[in-house]
Amino acid sequence: MESTRCPRCGWPLAELPATAAQPATHRLDYVRCVCGSWLARLDGEVVGATRARLTR
């Protein structure tokens, strides 16, 4: 899984809004991609997504 793009549609994560929550040691946040998939990021790296990759 590439950590800088949405695994479903390939949208660059740098263009998605950041979340306000910042835990003390590690940062786990969830962001909604433009394709509708929820992405779980741990310290800025995508570790999971709610929808499967699009096939083309």
* Domain ranges across the chain: 1-56
pLDDT-based confidence at residue 4 (cuts at 50, 70, 90) = confident
What does the pLDDT average to over 7-27? 72
Amino acid at 40: A
**38-42 and 45-49: which strand pairing?**
antiparallel
What does the pLDDT average to over 18-31? 67
Give bridge partners of residue 41 from the DSSP assignment: 29, 46
pLDDT at 46: 85
Distance CA 10, CA 35 (A): 9
| pTM score over 0.75 | no
pLDDT one-digit tens code per residue, 34-54 = 888 999 888 878 888 887 666
